[in-house]
Amino acid sequence: MTSTALASRPAEEARSMLRQMVRIRRFEEKLAVLFKRGRLPGFVHLYLGEEAVAVGVCAALREDDRITSTHRGHGHLIAKGAEVDRMMAELFGRVDGYCRGKGGSMHIVSFELGIMGTNGIVGGGIPIGTGSALGDQHLGRDSVTVVFFGDGASNQGVFFESMNLAAIWKLPVIFVCENNGYTEWTPTEELTAGLIADRGKPMGIPGVQIDGNDVEAVRAAAEEAIDRARRGEGPTVIEARTYRWHGHNEGEEAFAGDYRPAEEQQSWRDRDPISTYVERLVDSGVIARDEYELIDREETDAVDRAVEFAEASPFPDPEEALEHLFATATTGDAK
């Protein structure tokens, strides 16, 4: 690598992470509007405010690494390389979606991209990701799997079972808990004892609690855990503290009431992972402000085009209602 390449690499990485966060932000904002207009079939749980976690972690992954996701998973998938067009088509229930419109928000899979699925079952991705890591170990591959899950999911028994086996077998898996302070409408401290980062400690699994709104901090923690997993030294728990800006699900204001103090919400908006990163990059001369504005315009336009793409795509034929529901092959998209 030339010295120029060395010097420019961090700037390129920073730009790319910023672009990914903006892409997720604009995608999710568009979904909020579409949901209100009754244009989306099914529920959506938005990732607004948590973008730095998915982006920081996935920036540290290789293409052949895998992730498992949650009910709040659009950001994870976009960060792992999913296209907004096919994501949008899936959410509209159309054939050009990643699962031919049959998965919807909570069941999007793309094995080609290493996406083992969003998941409507809280904690459901934890054993799938642990099994994925076991598969790699058996096949002698050096890829790793990241399991994204929430603070609520950290109380599921399967998390402890999965950590146990991952520790015993030194599986190449990284457990990334997105602690956004709430499990549905209940504050985390009313449900969750102790520090989530410490939950693997009795099993010898290292854990760290990090600022999940700082994309560089997330990436640094992810790189360390991923290197460790690739070296065959086993799992790590990363607890990323963050906050969701929107409700548990869109439309919750119809029944959930005011369960989050306004000052709390404002204090996290003041720590917006995108604008704080833009400030940092502009102040340190890594990007110019108009460069950010261009990125923003491009991503906003891409999301608008994704809606057009989704609307132009047909609904699946009723004849194929029972197709692609059960696995007949071990690789490839449902398409």
From 147-155, 223-231, 285-293, 322-330, span contacting ligand TPP (CB under 6 A)? 147-155
Query: What minimum distance in Å lies between the beta carbon of 217 and Mg ion?
Result: 19
Q: Number of residues in contact with ligand TPP, rule: CB under 6 A?
A: 15
If one asks whether residue 120 binds ligand TPP (CB under 6 A), the answer comes out as: yes
Query: What minimum distance in Å lies between the beta carbon of 247 and ligand TPP?
Result: 10
- List the single partner that 206 binds among ligand TPP, Mg ion, none, CB under 5 to 8 Å by kind: none
From 37-45, 146-154, 191-199, 213-221, span contacting Mg ion (CB under 5 A)? 146-154
Best CA proximity match to 176, nearest among 263, 289, 52: 52
Q: How far apart are CA 289 and CA 283, in angstroms?
A: 10
CA distances from 98 to 51, 110, 117, 302 (A): 21, 6, 10, 17
One of 25, 26, 66, 71 touching ligand TPP (CB under 6 A)? 71
From 91-99, 151-159, 207-215, 228-236, span contacting Mg ion (CB under 5 A)? 151-159
Query: What minimum distance in Å lies between the beta carbon of 136 and Mg ion?
Result: 28
If one asks whether residue 180 binds ligand TPP (CB under 6 A), the answer comes out as: yes
Q: How far apart are CA 56 and CA 20, in angstroms?
A: 10
If one asks whether residue 199 binds ligand TPP (CB under 6 A), the answer comes out as: no
CA 134 from centroid of its chain's CA atoms: 21
Q: How far apart are CA 11 and CA 75, in angstroms?
A: 22
Q: What is the DSSP string of 114-174?
A: TB----SSTTTHHHHHHHHHHHHHHHT----EEEEEETTGGGSHHHHHHHHHHHHTT-SEE
Q: How far apart are CA 69 and CA 55, in angstroms?
A: 13
If one asks whether residue 150 binds Mg ion (CB under 5 A), the answer comes out as: yes
> Tokens for 11?
């700037």
Cβ-based nearer residue to ligand TPP, 89 or 108: 108
If one asks whether residue 207 binds Mg ion (CB under 5 A), the answer comes out as: no
If one asks whether residue 150 binds ligand TPP (CB under 6 A), the answer comes out as: yes
If one asks whether residue 77 binds ligand TPP (CB under 6 A), the answer comes out as: no
Best CA proximity match to 57, nearest among 244, 238, 295, 205: 238
Decide: 99 and 116 in contact? Cβ < 8 Å.
no
Decide: 100 and 320 in contact? Cβ < 8 Å.
yes
One of 28, 151, 214, 272 touching ligand TPP (CB under 6 A)? 151
Query: What minimum distance in Å lies between the beta carbon of 277 and ligand TPP?
Result: 21
Cβ-based nearer residue to ligand TPP, 153 or 274: 153
Cβ-based nearer residue to ligand TPP, 18 or 240: 240
If one asks whether residue 151 binds Mg ion (CB under 5 A), the answer comes out as: yes
> Tokens for 227?
């290197």
Residue nearest to ligand TPP (CB): 150
Dihedral pair phi/psi, residue 7, rounded to 5°: -70, -35
Binding site for ligand TPP (CB under 6 A): 71-72, 120-122, 150-153, 178, 180, 182-184, 248
Which residues sit at the interface with Mg ion, rule CB under 5 A?
150-151, 180
